[in-house]
Structure 1
Amino acid sequence: MRELNQPIFDRLADLREGTLFKLTSAVTEDNLLQWFREQISPMEHMVPAIMKCLEKLQVGWGEVGVSGNENTIHSACLLLAENLSEIVKLEERLCFSILPEEAEKLRDLMQNQAEGAIAELQRLPDELDQFVINAIEAEINGVDGSKELAITFELNDSWSDEVNRLFES
Structure 2
Amino acid sequence: MGPDFSKNTKELLAKRAAYTCSNPDCRKLTVGANTDQHKSTLIGEAAHIYGARKGSKRYFEKMSDKARSEITNAIWLCRNCHKLIDSDENQYSSEVLFVWREVHDEYTLNNIGNTTDKILHQKNMNLTEEFSDYPAIIKRIVIDKPPVWEYRLTAELLKYFNTPIFQRLNDLRDGLYIKDQTHIKDHEVYDWVQQQLAEKKKLVSPLIPLINKLNSSWGEPGVEGDVTEIHHISKLIRDYLKSIVEFEEKLFFTHVSKRYSKILNLLSNNFGNQILKFKRIPLVLDDISAQIEDELNSGITNPNSETRVVEEVISFELPKGWEKQMNKELNRLHSSKLLDDDEVEGYGCGTILIILIFLWILFA
TM-score (norm 1): 0.89
Q: Could you tell me which residue of structure 1 aligns to residue 160 of structure 2?
A: 3
Which residue identity is paired with 1:152?
S
**Which segment is superposed worse, 83-92 or 63-72?**
63-72
Partner of 2:216: 59
8 A Cα contact 2:185 2:256, kept in partner:
yes
Matched residues in 2 for 1:38 and 1:138: separation? 52
State whether residues 27 and 99 of structure 1, in contact with CA within 8 Å, keep that contact through their aligned partners in structure 2: yes
| 2:169–2:272 CA contact under 8 A, matched in 1 | no
Is 1:129 paired with 2:304? no
Matches within 5 A, 1:109-120: 109-120=266-277
**SS at 1:148 equivalent:** strand
Deviation at residue 107 of structure 1 after TM alignment: 2.1
- Does 1:104 find its partner at 2:267? no
Q: 1:28 aligned to 2:185?
A: yes
Structure number with the higher helix fraction is 1
Q: Where in structure 2 are the equivalents of 1:70-85 lying within 5 Å?
A: 70-85=227-242
Q: 2: distance between equivalents of 1:65 and 1:120? A: 29
Give the count of matched residue pairs: 169
8 Å contact 1:138–1:145 — kept in the other structure? Answer: no
Residue 44 in structure 1 maps to residue 201 in structure 2: yes
In structure 2, how many angstroms separate the alpha carbons of the residues matched to 1:139 and 1:65? 15
2:45 alignment counterpart? none
Write out per-residue CA displacement over residues 7-58 of structure 1, whole angstroms, 9 at most, x where no aligned residue.
1111111111111111022111111112212222221122220221111100
Residues in 2 aligned to 1:137 and 1:148: alpha-carbon distance in whole angstroms: 19
One-letter amino acid matched to 1:124: I
Conservation of the 8 A alpha-carbon contact between 2:274 and 2:316 = yes
- Shifted more, 82-91 versus 39-48: the winner is 39-48
Deviation at 1:103, TM superposition (A): 2.2
Which residue is equivalent to 1:154? Answer: 317
Q: Is the 8 A contact 1:134 1:145 kept in 2?
A: no
Residue type of the partner of 2:228? N
Preserved CA contact (<8 Å) 1:64 1:146:
no
Is residue 142 of structure 1 aligned with residue 301 of structure 2? yes
- Alpha-carbon distance between aligned partners in 1 of 2:324 and 2:173, rounded to the nearest angstrom: 27
Superposition deviation, residue 149 in structure 1:
1.0
Aligned residue identity for 2:314: I
Q: Which secondary structure state, in structure 2, belongs to the residue aligned with residue 11 of structure 1? A: helix
CA contact (8 A) 1:22 1:96 kept: yes
- Contact 2:184 2:255 (C-alpha < 8 Å) held by counterparts: yes
Unaligned residue ranges in structure 1 (runs of 5+): none
Query: What's the % identity of the aligned pairs?
Result: 28
**Partner SS for 1:134:** helix
What amino acid sits opposite 2:257 in the alignment?
A: P
Tell me: higher relative CO, structure 1 or 2? Use CA pairs within 8 A at least 6 residues apart.
1
Q: Deviations over 1:75-115 (max 9, x none)?
A: 11111111101100111111110112122222222224212
Amino acid at match of 1:63: E
Structure 2 Cα separation of the partners of residues 20 and 124 of structure 1 = 28
Larger-Rg structure: 2
Q: Which moved more, 1:60-69 or 1:46-55?
A: 60-69
Q: Secondary structure at the match of 1:21?
A: coil
Which structure has greater strand proportion?
2
Q: CA deviation at 1:154?
A: 1.4
- The residue type paired with residue 138 of structure 1 is E
